Amino acid sequence: MQVRTYDPMQKLKSSIAETIDKSGLAIRTQFEIPPSVELGDLALPLQQDAKLKGVNPSELSRSVSEWIESHPNPFVSESVSVGGYVNFRLDTKNVAALAWSTIRSLGESYGCHAPTGKSVIVEHTSANPIHPLHIGAARNSVFGDTLVRLQRARGHAVRAHFYVDDTGRQTAIAAFGYQLLGEPVPSEKPDHWIGKVYTVSSAIVEVLSAKEKLHSTPEGEDAAKLRSNIDEWMSVLSEQARLSPDLTDGLSKAMAGIETPQESISRLISEYEEGRPLAKRAIRKMVDYCLSGFKETLVRAGIHIDSFDYESDLLWDDSVGALLDSLEVSKYVAHDGRAMIFDVDAAANDFGLKEILGVQKSHVLPRLVLTRRDGTTLYVTRDLAYSLKKLDRADRVLNVIGTPQTLAQLQLKVVLYALGYKKVLEQIHVPYEQVELPTGSMSGRRGHYVAFDSILDEAKSRAKPEVAKRNPEMSAEVASELAEKISVAAVRFALVGVGASKKILFTWDRVLDFEANSGPYALYTFSRANSILQKSGKVADSVEPDFGSLKLPDEHRLAVLCARLPENVAFAADTFRPEVLSEYIMRLCDVFNSYYGKAPVLGAPTAELKDARLVLVRMVHVTLRSAFNMLGVPVPQRM
RNA sequence: GGGCCCGUGGCCUAGUAUGGAUAGGGCGGCGGCCUGCGGAGCCGCAAGUCGAGGGUUCAAAUCCCUCCGGGCCCGCCA
């Protein structure tokens, strides 16, 4: 049976390695890419091997290249020995043919790898359901979703999970306001409306409780602090009163009758945790409205969540209770009243986890409080139970969570490992840096944020005139669809195009400048390739080309680049770095743009050349389309 | 006090995992290219002490140490 080829470059490398192995030189065949195209397509560095063998690197590389020259490999057109490297120039014809047969057989799935049978859960987004997704969450979503797509392309069975934090105090504050308003149907996009309810409720509660405290506080520093606190929240309130007068007014009136809102909120929390019907109805109703708003935004950005996991379910189905029972008897747990405190450092030392997790031995890991003195659970406790649930459902779990959570994620691993869940090592924190605004940090509570929706809207409204300018004959509807695609591409490229460890300073121009942004450029390149294929009037996939007629350096580069998609996907997936793929796309676009500008495809001098070029264009076309799919970028047929 | 991350031309960024061949791109600037498959394009030019200093090495943007600048974390918050 023929084994299906997924990765042409891999296949070709093994073939060359095999040829070299026959020489009996016994060298490692770890290929690299030379720093410049003039040097070749593949490089074999032999300095290490030369050292081990105690021979001169140049001599070794010369023997290898001489061997290849006298024992030809179909994929190598030339091998040159330079300073301990053997540089290989690949044979355009055979590389193109190999890439083409792979592309033709895989079609849209070109770039994907053989199924592994391994299951992966990617948890991402998981924003609090009390305000719209903002730009920071957008980075999480886009990054997380791209990871989902990449893991899938890697051959794993992947599911995207969203952890719904519905038992926290913040959620209760919003739900409390929602209850007071009579639990209405939101009058606008639900997450945006709930965001307002949350900000106003939060501000009123802050003001009322600060005022309350002020009564029993003697004049001095503390009182002054309370006063400035009141002032701050009053100004948030007046801002909201200006933006949404009815809502603010309604909530203020309803809240005025409540003497101790903090207590009411605490009661709501505990009633919800106990699963009391009224509390349950109000909170779930509000949360689900908010989630429906999230979904709308996510769908627009091409993001799909397979499972929304409610934190409250972990309490109700006693997952948390079971976890507490096993913690109770752990030798690392100390009790203080009903509070449980976990000695993370001792556990990490005992199990040798510092070494495994890359923590310095001398670094003392902070203890972790798992329950309050009154016995109630904390966020981490529920998160522990949630981790177990995720690990139960997949071979591997990727948690897309911001860098501020790094320590907490580490502690979580130690605790679960110490409880005997060794599989927790298969749960990986994939961190990303925050997005900052020029005006300072965002605050959901204060209603200060840039919503994901606004970014998409703004991108679209900037794209529209550009589309209209270039396509005056296009109907408004089609133009709008196109503008939508372009804006999603621009936003996704902007958020995933830089390494996750880099902070992003969000400015409208940075993200939405269509000259600077690589998204529209890449889509444009694709649409040009598409247009050449359309114009040809041929079905490129049924053409049997003679790749031997491709002589231009750019034709060679394009064939080799197309063959490299799968290995780039593998690397991006395995290192959790989508930017690897976006860099690859840019490289391919650069070469292709330059190519079709100087080499006529449809007007090629001979029929053979025309066919070969046409197929090459098709290869670029399919390769780009696959790569876009993996980045979650929609593809327009024309622009 | 302890720990983590970032620091590459005016601005943004790749390269750091596995040290190696002239540090790649983009924006902005300057100069060209619409009789050719659509100019969101192409071609060219100027612009760099890879934060600083030491060390290891035949070889350091990359590894080690110290320091500087920016950010984050070390809650009976989430």
Residue type, A432: Y
Residue type, A376: T
Average pLDDT over residues A152-181: 96
Task: Name which of A109-113, A505-509, A590-594 the model is least confident about.
Answer: A505-509
The pLDDT tens digits of the residues spanning A245-288 come to: 999 999 999 988 888 888 999 999 999 999 999 999 999 999 99
- In this prediction the pTM is 0.96
On whether both A210 and A330 belong to a single domain, the answer is no
Give the closest nucleotide to A513 (alpha carbon vs C1'): B27
pLDDT in the model for residue A444: 84
On whether both A289 and A426 belong to a single domain, the answer is no
pLDDT in the model for residue A277: 95
Give the closest nucleotide to A403 (alpha carbon vs C1'): B72
Q: What percent of chain A has pLDDT over 70?
A: 100
Give the closest nucleotide to A518 (alpha carbon vs C1'): B26
A456 CA to B41 C1' distance (Å): 25
pLDDT band at A50 (very low <50, low <70, confident <90, very high): confident
pLDDT band at A150 (very low <50, low <70, confident <90, very high): very high
Question: Residue A519: inside a domain, yes or no?
Answer: yes
On whether both A405 and A351 belong to a single domain, the answer is yes
Average pLDDT, chain A: 94
Contacts of A299 (CB under 8 A, 6+ apart): none
Question: Residue A500: inside a domain, yes or no?
Answer: yes
**Domain tally for chain A?**
4
On whether both A496 and A476 belong to a single domain, the answer is yes
Using alpha carbons, select from A364, A383, A371 the residue that is nearest to residue A336. A371
The last residue of a domain, from among A387, A412, A436: A436
Q: Bridge partners of A341?
A: A334, A369
On whether both A28 and A38 belong to a single domain, the answer is yes
A350 CA to B74 C1' distance (Å): 21
A444 CA to B68 C1' distance (Å): 35
Question: Residue A331: inside a domain, yes or no?
Answer: yes
Q: How far apart are CA A553 and CA A531, in angstroms?
A: 23
Inter-residue contact A134 to A454 (CB < 8 Å): no
Q: What is the CATH number of the domain that holds A382?
A: 3.40.50.620
Specify which residue's alpha carbon is closest to the C1' of nucleotide B33. Answer: A597
The pLDDT tens digits of the residues spanning A396-455 come to: 999 999 999 999 999 999 999 999 999 999 999 999 999 988 887 778 888 888 999 999
Segment (H or E) for A398: strand A396-402
Range of the domain at A268: 169-310
On whether both A60 and A173 belong to a single domain, the answer is no
Q: How far apart are CA A472 and CA A114, in angstroms?
A: 45
On whether both A196 and A292 belong to a single domain, the answer is yes
The pLDDT tens digits of the residues spanning A67-79 come to: 999 999 999 999 9
Please report how many Cα atoms fall inside a 13 Å half-sphere around the Cα of residue A351, on the Cβ side. 21
Question: Residue A421: inside a domain, yes or no?
Answer: yes
Q: How far apart are CA A351 and CA A390, in angstroms?
A: 23
Complex ipTM value: 0.96
Q: Bridge partners of A434?
A: none
On whether both A147 and A177 belong to a single domain, the answer is no
A460 CA to B50 C1' distance (Å): 38
Q: How far apart are CA A473 and CA A330, in angstroms?
A: 72
User: CA A13, A19, A24: angle at the middle one, nearest 5?
Assistant: 125
pLDDT in the model for residue A48: 83
Q: Is the pLDDT of residue A187 over 80?
A: yes
Give the closest nucleotide to A33 (alpha carbon vs C1'): B21
Q: Where are the alpha helices (DSSP H) in A329-470?
A: 344-350, 353-357, 379-393, 406-418, 452-470
CA A209 to chain centre: 40
Q: What is the CATH number of the domain that holds A569?
A: 1.10.730.10
A520 CA to B7 C1' distance (Å): 30
Inter-residue contact A240 to A447 (CB < 8 Å): yes
Average pLDDT over residues A10-25: 93
Inter-residue contact A34 to A42 (CB < 8 Å): yes
Q: How far apart are CA A385 and CA A323, in angstroms?
A: 6
